[in-house]
Structure 1
Amino acid sequence: MDDSKHQLATVNRTFDILGLLRKNSSMSVSEIAKTLDTHRSTIHGYLRTLEATGFVINEDGRYRLGLRFLEFGGRIKYRNRLFQVSQSELEHLADDTGYTASLTIEENNELAIVHLAEGERSLQLGMYTGMRVPLHSHASGKSILAYSSDEVIDRFFETHDLEAVTKFTKTDPDDLRAEFETIRETGYAYDWDEQVVGMGIISAPITVEGTVYGAIGLVCPTNQLTDADQRSDLAERVKQSTDIVSVNYQYGR
């Protein structure tokens, strides 16, 4: 069945507009209309409606996203049970290592950041809650895929073009499958320069009774992971955190 036949064009157009405003700090009606190749009057109607809901703000004829989105995003985050049972441990991990600790989940075949806890040596790379990145380009995404079923992994490779986020991003399915095997053997994933050059990530999956629910990762400079001893120490600390969160998720309230 072709799902596109059952989609509402007005809803798709609304999210086209919101997507543009997400990428730009603000835009005028003319700029949006030109980008979407649509009449100004049509775009103006959409914007007036979005403005009335509070999701879009009009400032002297230029439109931007409203803080109403934070209300929705914050509510979703704080209702998430995995966040609830991991928040304090992420803070401990960030304090112990000095780096940014992250909680991530897979959603719609992308890696979504649920929460970030910053340490005193955190890299300032513009990461934020809700940010989405390709699963294959990030150690946390790889750890989640590695602990997924063979069917899930096969379907992921069959349905995705593996883009190179940087020139160091692994995009060969055979190389990634081999990496997944190593992740299952060691219990953790790591990479550097694949998402951002100069940034390394070490991550372990959160699993309960064989099901993977997400991953905890540490974001640090690349040179902290190229040294095998340092990498091993960080890996053990991350795995300790995932063990705690996994138990809390399974038995906590």
Structure 2
Amino acid sequence: MKKQAGNLPDAVSTAKTLFDIVQCVKSSNGLTVTAVAAELDYAKSTVHRHLRTLEELGYVVEEPDGFHVGLRFLDIGQHARDCRPGFDLAHDMVDELAQETDERAQFLVEEHGEAVYLARSAGDRAVQTDPGVGSRIPLHATAAGKAILSALHEDRLFEIIEQTTFDPITDATVTNQETLLAELDKIRRRGYSFNRQENLDGLHAVGVPVQGTGDDVIGALSVSGPSHRLKGEWLEKELPDLLLGAANELELNIAHS
């Protein structure tokens, strides 16, 4: 039977409530029904009903200290990651870059106007600065994110820019459209981007876009590390050359895989 249009807002509201609860449980890692209800300002009965449903379906588990996100989400997350074009090849390339540079290497993609970490690997001297796989960060505040923006088709680029708030993360973060567009123009001409303490004080990074077979950008490779190591010729010339070569190799492997 066809659903009435008037029922749609309730259905959407219920779905939003469900995912608000999941995110709350994830962020706190062990919460009781009472704690979730207080955190979200929802009725305990509503939270209890949703959590029990999630538990029955295997998406949360109840431990002595409260509810935790269940491993069923791991299966969904791995499926979403593995379906991304060229993920396996990009993952291998990230490992190679980390070993060659001794720093942290990563592969990021764009989704819903944000940069998402899809793969990362740490070299022997890498510092623990980058968030985990699946974490999101503004595109305009990372080397990989800006590399992706530089390679997007114009309509998609401006769609993302229009929804970007440009809130400063550090004193060096790009905070307006004009500055970002000017920087993206430079990135297109030279083929690589820089992050000079734009999302974390003391961190530098270099990023390059990775194109798919249809000339669409599928993501970006980057290498990041402490600003006292990533500087001078290593930052300005050697790392960009290394990443450009890696991206070219990755694009060829994806095209012929």
Both proteins in one fold, TM over 0.5: yes
Tell me what 1:20 maps to: 24
SS at match of 1:8: helix
Q: TM-score, normalised by structure 2?
A: 0.90
Give the conservation status (yes or no) of the 8 Å contact 1:90–1:241.
no
Aligned partner of 1:226 among 231, 242, 250: 231
1:165 to 2:143 alignment: no
For residues 23-57 of structure 1, the C-alpha deviation after alignment (integer angstroms, 9 at most, x for no partner) is 11211111111122222122111111111122111
**1:251 matched to 2:256:** yes
Question: In structure 2, the residue corresponding to 1:224 is in which secondary structure?
Answer: coil
Match of 1:132 among 105, 111, 136: 136
SS of the residue 2:86 aligns to? helix
Q: What residue in structure 1 maps to residue 155 of structure 2?
A: 151
Confirm or deny: 8 A CA contact 2:36 2:47 kept in the other structure.
yes
Question: 2-side partners of 1:57 and 1:130: how far apart?
Answer: 21
Say yes or no: does 1:237 pair with 2:239.
no
How far apart are residue 126 of structure 1 and its match? 5.3
Determine the structure 2 residue equivalent to 1:78.
82
Equivalent runs, 1:80-119 vs 2, <5 Å = 80-119=84-123
Q: C-alpha deviations, 1:105-157, integer Å up to 9, x for none?
A: 10110101111122111111252110110111111111111111222222222
Question: In the alignment, does 2:47 pair up with 1:56?
Answer: no
Relative distance call for 1:126 and 1:68 in structure 2 (3 A) is farther
> 2:217 corresponds to which residue?
212
User: Is this contact kept in 2: 1:224–1:231, CA < 8 A?
Assistant: no
Equivalent pair of 2:94/2:105 in contact (CA under 8 Å) = yes
Three-state SS of the structure 1 residue aligned to 2:93 is helix
Identical amino acids, percent of aligned pairs = 27
In structure 1, the partner of 2:3 is none
**TM-score when normalising by structure 1:** 0.92
Aligned position for 2:5: none
Point out where structure 2 has 5 or more consecutive residues left out of the alignment. 1-7
Q: For structure 1, which segment, 127-136 or 87-96, has the greater mean C-alpha deviation from structure 2 after superposition?
A: 87-96
Q: Secondary structure in 2 aligned to 1:203?
A: strand
Aligned-pair CA distance for 1:158: 2.1
Shift in Å, 1:170: 0.9
**How many angstroms apart in 2 are the aligned matches of 1:96 and 1:181?**
29
Rounded to whole Å, the distance in 2 between the matches of 1:192 and 1:179 is: 13
CA distance in 1 between partners of 2:64 and 2:244 (Å): 51
The one-letter amino acid paired with 1:9 is: S
What is the aligned counterpart of 2:206 among 195, 202, 206?
202
Q: Residue 67 of structure 1: CA displacement?
A: 2.1
Q: In 2, Cα distance between the equivalents of 1:219 and 1:116?
A: 11
Structure 1 residues 235 and 46: alpha-carbon distance in aligned structure 2, compared to 1, 3 A threshold:
same
Distance 1:206 1:240 in 2: 11
Cα RMSD after superposing both structures: 1.8
Contact 1:192–1:225 (8 Å) recurs in 2: no
Q: Deviations over 1:141-185 (max 9, x none)?
A: 111111112222222222221121222211121111111111011
CA contact (8 A) 2:170 2:197 kept: yes
AA partner of residue 232 (structure 1): K
Q: Is 2:43 the partner of 1:42?
A: no
Report how many residues are paired.
Answer: 249
1:192 to 196, 199, 203: 196
